[in-house]
């Protein structure tokens, strides 16, 4: 870090009150930063404001929650992501977001191999500890791998960033450190609706005490976590941790006592929640933030007894194919890490791979004869599908058996139509 290709001297690490983008970012570079509260807005805002002085370059990030990135910035910048969630949605709807259909767990490998080059990493880090070390604060995820590959590493030291049990960096790991004070964006959980409560009840009946949980992001996963409050000795090993998981920790349902791997510790890649969550994470040795090479590692997941992976989707067809990316002809979701956890749970002793979703969206069925988007997860990896009308375990069932059972999950008003479409479509019989 700090050494530019073709030059023999390194740019010395320094502290400054400001970030001059055109000094550090070159035309053609790829700039990477973390998602959600891990976005260093004191760096990303001047970067985009100064884009014309740099020339065309690319930015990679996961889910943004701020309003920093706007469609008009695409006049110079190419925006890359694997998800259209959060404020990425406005980029996607404006045609200003290039989607990488890559598993969340694969980004570290793509970064370190150079298949997806990383030139500049922008970090939001916590104030240094007594030994002068900076934590990654809100997220580790793909950032550790990006750090290992980047030419330039710039850190924003944010007084609001929690000091977490994540990767620790010394001052000489940075090329530039600047102060920051922007309060992080927050995600407050909302109250579930009646359909979400019924789905959550059905999922809760499937989860055994002593299970280790992974959940996706959104209102339905939050509702499912809320429904597990009466369970005991649950564990947490997930891509993200939010306020509903925190409720279970503080309420005593999550103890991590019976985890096979990392007993006594909650493990995640990123914090996505409220200020309460960020305060909980600060100097908390029982919460570990790790990169996706660890959180999504298939061998590790398969070794976690009673791993329960709970994710959602836009659609599931009658054979178990899952679309978690496109709804209404628009890219709104992600490949994400769902498949990593579904496969891990499927291979774990007493593991349980679950896809939960409402049976309808507006006037349309979400259990369909044929998907209206890509196959994000193939039917070979389908496990238990849950709607408000029931739960069906597809494992070990033939295609014909799956079709008969999946009809049970369709809203009554749509069953006849879905059955008729399936009967008319020879492909879904295969």
The full set of domain ranges for the chain reads 14-180, 194-429
CATH class of the domain defined by 14-180: alpha beta
The per-residue pLDDT for 248 is 98
The per-residue pLDDT for 8 is 26
Q: Which residues of the chain have pLDDT under 50?
A: 1-14, 428
Sequence-separated (6 or more) residues with CB below 8 Å from residue 172: 13
The per-residue pLDDT for 15 is 53
The per-residue pLDDT for 1 is 34
CA distances from 308 to 73, 103, 169, 270, 347 (A): 41, 19, 33, 19, 11
CA distances from 259 to 206, 225, 227, 256, 267 (A): 18, 18, 20, 6, 11
Q: How far apart are CA 180 and CA 230, in angstroms?
A: 41
Q: How far apart are CA 409 and CA 404, in angstroms?
A: 10
The per-residue pLDDT for 336 is 87
Task: Look at the domain 194-429 and name its fold.
Answer: Glutaconate Coenzyme A-transferase (3.40.1080)
The per-residue pLDDT for 18 is 84
Q: How far apart are CA 323 and CA 188, in angstroms?
A: 26
Residue 405 in contact with residue 357, Cβ under 8 Å?
no
Long-range CB pairs of 2-6, under 8 A, 24+ apart, other chains included: 2/152, 2/153, 2/175, 3/151, 4/151, 5/151
Residue written as token pair 């499927």? 346
Structure tokens, 178: 């600047």
The domains spanning 14-180 and 194-429 adopt the same CATH topology = yes
Residue 366 in contact with residue 359, Cβ under 8 Å?
yes
Crossing angle, helix 194-206 and helix 219-226, to 10 degrees?
Answer: 60
Q: How far apart are CA 188 and CA 222, in angstroms?
A: 10
The per-residue pLDDT for 424 is 87
The per-residue pLDDT for 6 is 29
Q: Hey, which bits of 275-388 come out as E strands? A: 287-289, 307-311, 315-317, 322-323, 326-327, 330-331, 352-356, 360-361, 364-365, 367-368, 384-387
Tens of pLDDT along 357-416? 999 999 999 999 999 999 999 999 999 999 999 999 999 999 999 999 999 999 999 999
Sequence-separated (6 or more) residues with CB below 8 Å from residue 218: 312
Structure tokens, 42: 């004191």
């Amino acid at each position: 870090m700090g050494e530019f290709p073709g030059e023999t001297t390194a740019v010395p690490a320094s502290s400054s009150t400001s970030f001059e983008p055109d000094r550090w970012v070159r035309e053609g570079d790829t700039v990477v930063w973390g998602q959600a509260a891990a976005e260093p807005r004191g760096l990303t805002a001047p970067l985009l404001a100064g884009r014309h002085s740099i020339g065309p370059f690319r930015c990679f990030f996961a889910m943004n929650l701020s309003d920093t990135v706007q469609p008009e910035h695409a006049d110079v910048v190419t925006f890359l992501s694997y998800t259209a969630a959060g404020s990425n949605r406005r980029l996607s709807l404006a045609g200003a977001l290039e989607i990488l259909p890559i598993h969340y767990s694969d980004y570290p490998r793509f970064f370190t191999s150079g298949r997806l080059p990383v030139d500049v990493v922008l970090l939001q880090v916590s104030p240094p500890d007594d030994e002068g070390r900076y934590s990654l604060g809100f997220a580790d995820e793909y950032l550790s791998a990006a750090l290992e590959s980047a030419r330039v590493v710039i850190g924003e030291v944010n007084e609001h960033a929690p000091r977490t049990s994540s990767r620790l960096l010394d001052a000489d790991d940075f090329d530039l450190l600047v102060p920051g004070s922007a309060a992080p964006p927050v995600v407050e959980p909302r109250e579930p609706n009646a359909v979400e409560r019924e789905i959550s009840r059905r999922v809760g009946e499937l989860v055994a005490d002593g299970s280790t949980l992974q959940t996706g992001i959104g209102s339905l996963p939050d509702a499912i976590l809320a429904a597990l409050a009466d369970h005991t000795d649950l564990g947490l090993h997930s891509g993200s941790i939010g306020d509903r998981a925190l409720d279970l920790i503080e309420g005593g349902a999550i103890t991590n006592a019976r985890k096979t791997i990392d007993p006594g510790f909650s493990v995640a890649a990123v914090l996505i929640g409220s200020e309460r969550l960020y305060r909980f994470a600060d100097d908390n040795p029982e919460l570990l933030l790790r990169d996706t090479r660890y959180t999504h590692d298939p061998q590790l997941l398969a070794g976690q007894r009673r791993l329960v992976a709970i994710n959602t989707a836009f659609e599931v067809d009658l054979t178990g194919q899952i679309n978690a990316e496109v709804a209404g002809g628009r890219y709104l979701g992600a490949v994400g890490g769902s498949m990593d956890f579904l496969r891990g749970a499927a291979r774990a002793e007493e593991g349980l791979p679950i896809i939960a979703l409402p049976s309808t969206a507006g006037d349309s069925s979400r259990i369909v004869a044929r998907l209206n988007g890509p196959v994000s997860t193939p039917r070979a990896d389908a496990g238990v599908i849950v709607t408000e009308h029931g739960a069906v375990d597809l494992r070990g069932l033939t295609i014909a058996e799956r079709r008969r059972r999946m009809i049970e999950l369709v809203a009554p008003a749509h069953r006849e139509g879905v059955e008729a479409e399936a009967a008319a479509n020879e492909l879904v019989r295969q």
